[in-house]
Structure 1
Amino acid sequence: MRGAIAAMVLTFLAGSAAAQDLQARLNDYPTEARADYVFGCMAVNGQGRDVLRKCSCSIDVIASLLPYEKYVEAETVLSMQQVGGERMSIFRTAAPAKALVADLRRAQAEAEILCF
């Protein structure tokens, strides 16, 4: 009997730890980054409560699919791609840079489908 109870407690604790890990992973985006995304999204899509809700949903979906570190790296690559010059061509042509941007674009597309 004790063995069964101990197993149930361990299963519950393991599930609880996994839930906490998932929650931490989903919440690794700082509030400032989320707010910045929502402001930018609303600037593009219009003002209003419905757009606020859609843009907030969008960053939540992106955060669930892409760790914050990868999000920052992809945003940096996108920013560097906007800079002209031969030195910046590495951000437009390198496979790792393209992969980062592709991951972000996929997350954004998923967010678009789910939220808009």
Structure 2
Amino acid sequence: MRGLALVLALLAGGARAQDAAERLNDYPTAARAEYVFACMAVNGENRRVLEQCSCSIDRIASILPYDRYVEAETVLALQQTSGERSSLFRGPATAQGVVAELRRAQAEAEIVCF
């Protein structure tokens, strides 16, 4: 009986570890690469900056699930447009909340990686 309990506990722990790994790896490679390219364009194009930018997106991914990242990036892009419709994305607390989450993740990434 103890052996079965041990096996079940190990399987449950493995499932939790896999869930955590999947959550940390839910960013598509193309999204990570796009972030790194943009980061390097702003910070310089050398090996050190490549490592810092890679660290940065990895840190953001560990904090913010990919769907929330996409929401925040979408809101930020829509805020850059002009006209009356863009005001819909500048004021509501929901839109500001998701952007604030991304900004906090970016700030932590900057502290850790740069």
Please report the TM-score for the alignment, with normalisation by the length of structure 2. 0.98
1:51-108 deviations in Å (ceiling 9; x for gaps): 0000000000000111101100100000000011111101000110000100000000
- Which consecutive unaligned segments of at least 5 residues does structure 2 have? none
Rounded to whole Å, the distance in 1 between the matches of 2:108 and 2:3 is 42
Aligned residue pairs, count:
114
* Pairing 1:88-103 to 2, within 5 Å after superposition: 88-103=86-101
Match of 2:3 in 1: 5
Is 1:48 matched with 2:51?
no
**Partner letter of residue 75 of structure 1?**
E
**Partner letter of residue 16 of structure 1?**
G
Among 72, 80, 84, the alignment partner of 1:82 is 80
Rounded to whole Å, the distance in 2 between the matches of 1:13 and 1:86 is 54
Identity %, equivalent residues: 67
**Partner letter of residue 64 of structure 2?**
L
Please report the TM-score for the alignment, with normalisation by the length of structure 1. 0.96
Rounded to whole Å, the distance in 2 between the matches of 1:19 and 1:106 is 25
Note the aligned Cα RMSD (angstroms). Answer: 0.6
- Which consecutive unaligned segments of at least 5 residues does structure 1 have? none
Which consecutive segments of 4 or more residues in structure 1 shift more than 2 A? none
Is 1:29 matched with 2:30?
no
Rounded to whole Å, the distance in 2 between the matches of 1:111 and 1:4 is 44
